Amino acid sequence: MNSELINSALMRKLLIPFIFVAIIVGLFEQSKSKPNIYILCAAVAIFMYGMMQLTSKVPSKKEEDEKDIDDD
């Protein structure tokens, strides 16, 4: 259990900077007169992967509602 918390915290500390770097690179590249589409795609892919990993730990409202119904 403790190692899961450490891995989770470490992953969050590493993912958040990667997400911000991807946002900055994507916005910078998009502001050019001729942006490189491959760099933009890579920035979006990194951003989406990072957000997917961060939100995978958050329980959905549907799961919470089902637990409330089961408790009644």
In a structure prediction context, what are the per-residue pLDDT tens digits for the chain, which is 72 residues long? 556 656 677 777 888 898 999 999 999 999 999 999 999 999 999 999 988 888 887 777 776 666 656 555
Sign, CA dihedral 10-16-19-25, equals negative
Place of tokens 């994507």: 26
Residue 19 contacts residue 43 (beta carbons within 8 Å): no
**Is the whole-model pTM more than 0.75?**
no
